[in-house]
Copies of this chain bind each other. A is one copy, B any other.
């Protein structure tokens, strides 16, 4: 068995900073959103994507794709959001298998309130403490990661 190409010291340091940082950051954002607005990050993501979609509705499969969630997970989470009155699901005329998830007005308001706090926290713990050129580098890097993962799909 050949020796793998281990990371060098710098790569190791940077990779670990990322792993730790992203875990801690998402946890912090999740806790923040939950305590102030009763929403998890993944629920929040769903509301965001719906709010941006034409007519504030999206097919389940599309929504799953946009929110980086499995269909099963989305299905469960939508049930919860539906029971909170933030989302409702209705059939699709063209394709009788299809289901549209719609953002309710109440859902839109909840999202608006949450987003105002959320953006401040994101700034506080990420955007505003990072050099703008480093942020651009992050953008480039993770765009490449997304592309790579999609290709491997």
Q: Give the most central of A1, A4, A13, A152: most B CB within 10 Å.
A: A4
Chain A at the B interface: mostly helix, strand, loop or mixed? helix
Within 8 A of B (CB), among A1-37: 1, 4-7, 10-11, 13-15, 17-28
A20 touches B146 (CB 8 A): yes
How many monomers of this protein are in the complex? 2
A residues contacting the other copy or chain, number (CB 8 A): 55
Binds B, one of A55-63, A81-89, A103-111, A126-134: A126-134
A-B contact pairs, 23 of them (CB 8 A): A4-B119, A5-B120, A7-B122, A15-B126, A15-B127, A15-B135, A17-B138, A17-B139, A21-B143, A22-B142, A24-B145, A25-B145, A125-B149, A126-B145, A129-B145, A130-B141, A130-B145, A131-B140, A133-B137, A134-B137, A134-B140, A134-B141, A135-B141
